[in-house]
Amino acid sequence: MTILERNEMILASSLTSPQVAARLGVAGERIEEMRIAGFLFGVWDATQGAFVFPEFQFDQRIHAETFRELLAILASRFGFDPAKSDKGGWGRAYWLYQPNELLSRQARADFTDALTDPVRVAMRLRHISTEARTPVEALMDDPEGVLALARRLWSS
C-alpha cells in the first residue's frame, strides 16, 4: 500500500469533529480539548482544514483507558510528540496502521501452559497465523501486545 493509499484509507475511515461529538454526546467544542488532552486521536485533513478522527478508536472492543495509555506512550516517543514533531498526527497514524510481524497471532501466542514437547508446540503453532497485523487490528484482542510494542520505540 502506498502512502497516498494509506492516507486515503485513514481519511475515509475517519469522523469529523461534529460526528465525534454526536457519537460521544458532548458539545462540539470539547472534541479539540479531548484531542489535545490525549483522550482522542486525530489526523490533520488539509482538504477540510480540520482534524478528523479515525473511527477504530470508537470500537467497543477498545478500552478507553488502554487507548489513552497508548496515546501517552506514543507521545513520549521520538517523532510522535503531538505538540512538537507530530502536530498533524500522521506519524502516529502511520505507526498505528503499519503491519508488524511482532503483532501476528503466532508471535503473540501464549504458551504459559508450559508445553515442553517440541512436536506439540510445532503442531500448535502450525494453526496460528503468522500474518503481520497493524496495531489498530491488534488493539481489538491484544491491547497489551500493542502497548508493549509502543514501549519499545525510542524515547524522545
What number of other Cβ atoms are within 10 A of residue 118's Cβ?
A: 8
- Per-residue model confidence as pLDDT tens digits over 41-71: 999 999 999 999 999 999 999 999 999 999 9
Q: What is the mean predicted confidence (pLDDT) over 3-12?
A: 93
Residue 109 lies in a domain: no
Give the range of the structural domain holding residue 9, as residue numbers without chain letter.
3-98+134-151
- Which cell is 62 given? 477498545
Which is higher by pLDDT, 108 or 90?
90
Residue 12 lies in a domain: yes
- Which cell is 22 given? 454526536
Residue 91 lies in a domain: yes
Residue 103 lies in a domain: no
Give me the pLDDT at residue 155, please.
66
**Average per-residue pLDDT in the chain?**
89
Count of the separate structural domains present in the chain:
1
State yes or no: pLDDT of 115 exceeds 70: no
d(CA 33, CA 124) in angstroms, rounded, equals 47
Give me the pLDDT at residue 143, please.
95
